[in-house]
Amino acid sequence: MKAIWNDVVIAESNDTVIVEGNHYFPINSIKSEYFKKTDLTTFCGWKGMANYYSVTVNGKINKDCAWYYETPNDAAKKI
């Protein structure tokens, strides 16, 4: 699976986990030079607290477009 934005591959892995239609990439499969942590957080009752990244590619910013669970709840450990 590849995540592409602005014609650039920003993440690639054969080991994504699909939850609610979203692909979760292993952290070591993202190209970190494109990702910048933001202050946005949201909460999901079964996954836990989500933290967000904005992605910048070739000068274009996609704000708060990717998220991760630093300490997911037990039910969501796979992501």
| Whole-prediction pTM | 0.89
Which class is domain 2-76? mainly beta
**CA dist 53 → 50, 68, 74 (Å):** 10, 8, 23
Task: Determine the pLDDT at residue 8.
Answer: 98
3-state secondary structure of 63: strand
Rounded Cα–Cα distance for residues 5 and 46 (Å): 29
Which residue has better confidence, 79 or 35?
35
Q: How many CB atoms lie within 10 A of CB 25?
A: 20
Task: Determine the pLDDT at residue 78.
Answer: 87
Task: Determine the pLDDT at residue 64.
Answer: 99
Residue pLDDT, tens place only, 13-34: 999 999 999 999 999 999 999 9
